[in-house]
Amino acid sequence: MTEEKKKRPRGFAATVAKLVDPLNENEKFKERFKDTGVKILLNAKDGKYAALLVIDKGTIHVEGIENKPKKNLKKKVVGWDGLFQTSTPLFLEILGGDEVSMGKIIRKVLTGKIKIRGIKKVLILLQLFEL
């Protein structure tokens, strides 16, 4: 029972998990991502935990990773394919807001408020939130 508590995401990762867990029951998600294997790191810079979103053959789950020390989030350590990093309030605006457009996100990338690595993989997030 203590192992289950350790594996449960905490902080920002728990919030992301609540958003994406219902996708495991969605048949459209299972069909669209049945051949996909990707890891996307969502890092809220001002939080204690980052969320590693793992999509593997039609299933999705979230792992919590501590932000400090910074080496915990390196690509070689975590093995992520894409990185999306910004502040917590901006994440909540993007994830929960209907008014966020691609233009607004691009503007925030250009001004340095959002950091993206592996943009092809990060664009999978748009497909997830369409479902």
Does the pLDDT value for residue 84 go beyond 60? yes
59: which residues sit within 8 A by CB, 6+ positions away? Answer: 24, 30
Does the pLDDT value for residue 95 go beyond 60? yes
How far apart CA 24 and CA 62 sit, in angstroms, is: 12
10: which residues sit within 8 A by CB, 6+ positions away? Answer: 48, 49, 64
Kindly state the helix (H) or strand (E) to which residue 125 belongs, with its residue range: helix 124-130
Sequence-ordered alpha helix ranges (H) in 23-117: 27-32, 75-78, 88-96, 102-110
What pLDDT digit, counting tens, does each position of 31-81 carry? 888 888 899 999 988 888 899 999 888 899 999 888 888 888 888 888 899
Q: Where are the domains of the chain?
A: 2-130
- Looking at CATH, the fold of the domain delimited by 2-130 is given as Nonspecific Lipid-transfer Protein; Chain A (3.30.1050)
